Structure formats: structure tokens, C-alpha cells
Amino acid sequence: MQSPMTYAVETRDLTRIFAGKKKRRFRRKAGSNGSEDSLGPVTALDGVSLGIKEGELFGMLGPNGAGKTTLIKILATLLLPTAGQAFVAGHDVAKDPFPIRQRINMVSGGETSGYGLLTARENIWMFSQFYGVPSKVSKERIDDLMHIFGLWDKRDAKVRMLSTGQRQKMNMIRGFVTDPDILFLDEPTLGLDVNAARVIREYVMNWVRKRAGKTVLLTSHYMAEADQMCDRIAIIDKGRILACDTPANLKRMIRTETTFQLEVDTIRDTTSFVGLRGVKNFSHKDDISKNRSHLTFILEDEGPVAEILSSITSQGAKVHSLQKSEPTLEDVFISMVGRGLD
């Protein structure tokens, strides 16, 4: 018997440093200054400590390059940590991967893996055989899941004939067909159409909630997705966990703060916002095609609004819209790091 305090996934000071990459090709082209290509060691994870309880749908929310995929790879026994420890189902990922592998599965969104010569069904079936799922059980599960994810029409199509989205659905089925106890989903809806993404979200939520002992770790850089789906969320940036709580509690952290969103003509100078009293943080994103800037301000109160507006108009830019909004997880992120999620 596992005690209720046992975590399905636990990391202690988990750190992962990648040695610098050699990109000779780029260096030669880019000349010698190579600021972007001066590829020294990269700290992808920096002392991450997390505990994910059995039965939880846990989310990692963070921008590109935050370290989400690296964490998933370590937990899935694909990559070794540089320092610190990680336990999955009570086993150390570095020392004892085999019993972990029997209980997990992993799906990465936005990729198109699969054996092109096999049919969609054969491809999924083959992977289930690696896990010793009885063939008949596997086939029944595949049929069910194909109906649910809308791949039934393509069940006997060769994988190489499937579209990117169809392959992604196939891979999602590959993840569920082995009925893992712990499922790692790395940006599962990346690049999928709205409808397919919704089906997947709902299926994942039901899967965790309706069965005992299932745990999901999901990464995302869509804040709405994380908010809607997850029991708890860790906000990650540059390899560090900035906060970890339920979505409601995370948003409550900035409850006393006010979020304003502005759409203005493209502005160049945002330094004038930095020192303004009452401005906790802000993010700035340009929409080049429309020649507009989107500004999100996290304010301690509504005091500085007038000053912000006058600072914008003094640059000769027009304000097209101004909106006060309910705090979102993205606002929490902006409040902490002064940047949006993408």
C-alpha cells in the first residue's frame, strides 16, 4: 500500500544543464559576433522541486524555452538529470527506469512521429504490444479511442497518408492505449484545430477524474488551457518554478491588482512606464501587420491610468481601445516576470 502522501511524481532540486551546442554552419554564416549563437551551457532546469499527487491533473505553464519539455523528458526516463533527483511512481528516474516505464506513457504535441508504412491502427497496436497489452484488449481500446478522437475514418490509412493533425490524434491514442498510471502530455494541443483541441482537453479531464489513481502532467503555453484543465499549476520560466498552486489561488495572488489592456498605434518607447507609481509590471507586444501595439498593465490601483495614457499620446500614438479585465493566469505571469507567455 502506498500512503496517500506518496507522490506520483516528485522532484528535488532537479537541475539540467545542456552542454553548449556546436553550430558551425550558423557561425560561419552569421560572421563572428554571433551573439545568438554563442552557445555556452544552457541551464534548462534550475533547482526544480515539485510534488504531484496521485490523481492530480497537474499543469506546467510557461513560455517557449522555459524548460517544460526538458522536465518531461527527464521524468519519462529519456534524459538524465545533471543534479538533483526525480521520482516517478516512487522510483528514481536515474537509477531505476524500468519499473517507471511500465507505468507511464508520453505524448508530445506538434510532432508527426509514426511508421509511415503501417496503418494508423497497426502503429498504435504495435506500441501497445511493447507494454504487453493483450492484443484483443488493445484492438478494442483503439477502436473506442479512434471514435472519440475522430480518427475512425482513417483507421486503415497508412500513417504516411495522414495529415499532421491526424498523426497527432494517433499519437494521443498511442498514449492512452496502454492505460498508463502516469501520463505525460507535452503541449498536447499544439497546432491542432479548435475542435480537436477541445475533444482532447475534455477527454484528458474525464480520464483523470473518472478513474482512480490516474495522474497527468501536462505542459502548455496556453494559459486558458491550463486554467480550464488543471487542478494545480506550476508557473515556470527560465528553468525555475515561480509559483505553484490551484488556478484560482494563483489568480487570487494578483486579486488586489488591476489588469488593463490597451491597443495603441505602434510605440517604440516603453521606458516611460517603468518608473510610474502604481505600475507593478507590464508587457508589450507588437502586431506588425496592423501597426499596433498591445500593452497589458498590472496596476496596484487605477491611479496611473491617466499618466499611462498621456505618456502614449505624447508619443503621438493613438489609443484604440482600453479595457479593464479579470485577472488571467497570463496576468499572473506578467506580474511576476514582466513578459507575456508568447
Ligand X SMILES: Nc1ncnc2c1ncn2[C@@H]1O[C@H](COP(=O)(O)OP(=O)(O)O)[C@@H](O)[C@H]1O
Determine if 30 is a binding residue for another protein (CB under 8 A): no
In whole angstroms, give the CA distance from residue 74 to residue 81. Answer: 6
164 binds, among Mg ion, ligand X, another protein, none (CB under 5 to 8 A by kind): none
Q: Pick one of 61, 68, 222, 327: the residue that binds ligand X (CB under 6 A).
A: 68
Determine if 62 is a binding residue for ligand X (CB under 6 A): yes
Q: Pick one of 8, 14, 52, 66: the residue that binds ligand X (CB under 6 A).
A: 66
Which of 61-69, 80-88, 158-166, 278-286 is the region at the interface with ligand X (rule: CB under 6 A)?
A: 61-69
Starting at the edge strand that comes first in sequence, how are the strands of the sheet with 232-237 ordered? 104-108, 182-186, 215-220, 57-61, 232-237, 240-245
Nearer to Mg ion, 45 or 142 (CB): 45
66 binds, among ligand X, Mg ion, another protein, none (CB under 5 to 8 A by kind): ligand X
Tell how far CA 206 is from the center of its chain.
Answer: 19
Give, as one character, the DSSP assignment of residue 127. H
Determine if 78 is a binding residue for another protein (CB under 8 A): yes
Among the listed residues 127, 45, 129, 54, the one whose alpha carbon sits nearest the alpha carbon of residue 88: 54
Number of residues that bind Mg ion (CB under 5 A): 2
User: Quick one: cell of 203?
Assistant: 477527454
Q: 245 and 232 in contact (C-beta within 8 Å)? A: yes
Which of 6-14, 32-40, 119-127, 243-251 is the region at the interface with another protein (rule: CB under 8 A)?
A: 119-127
26 binds, among another protein, ligand X, Mg ion, none (CB under 5 to 8 A by kind): none
Q: Count of residues for the chain?
A: 342
Determine if 132 is a binding residue for another protein (CB under 8 A): yes
113 binds, among Mg ion, ligand X, another protein, none (CB under 5 to 8 A by kind): another protein
Among the listed residues 65, 36, 116, the one whose alpha carbon sits nearest the alpha carbon of residue 238: 65
In whole angstroms, give the CA distance from residue 186 to residue 183. Answer: 10
Nearer to another protein, 73 or 169 (CB): 73
Query: At a CB cut-off of 8 Å and minimum separation 6, what does 240 contact?
Result: 46, 47, 48
Reported as type and span, the H/E element at residue 318 is none
Determine if 190 is a binding residue for Mg ion (CB under 5 A): no
In Å, how far are 31, 36, 37, 41, 71 from 25, measured between CA atoms? Answer: 10, 13, 10, 19, 29
Give, as one character, the DSSP assignment of residue 211. S
Residues in 93-112 that interact with another protein by CB under 8 A:
98, 101-102, 104-106, 108, 111-112
Nearer to ligand X, 204 or 341 (CB): 341
Determine if 20 is a binding residue for another protein (CB under 8 A): no
Determine if 69 is a binding residue for Mg ion (CB under 5 A): yes
Determine if 68 is a binding residue for another protein (CB under 8 A): no
Nearer to another protein, 123 or 296 (CB): 123
Q: 207 and 216 in contact (C-beta within 8 Å)? A: yes
131 binds, among another protein, ligand X, Mg ion, none (CB under 5 to 8 A by kind): another protein
The CB-of-164 to ligand X minimum distance in angstroms stands at 19
Determine if 73 is a binding residue for another protein (CB under 8 A): yes
How deeply is 170 buried, as exposed, middle or buried, from its count of CB atoms within 10 A (0-12, 13-18, 19+)? buried
Determine if 114 is a binding residue for another protein (CB under 8 A): yes
Instruction: List interacting residues with ligand X (CB under 6 A).
Output: 18, 21, 42, 44, 62, 64-70
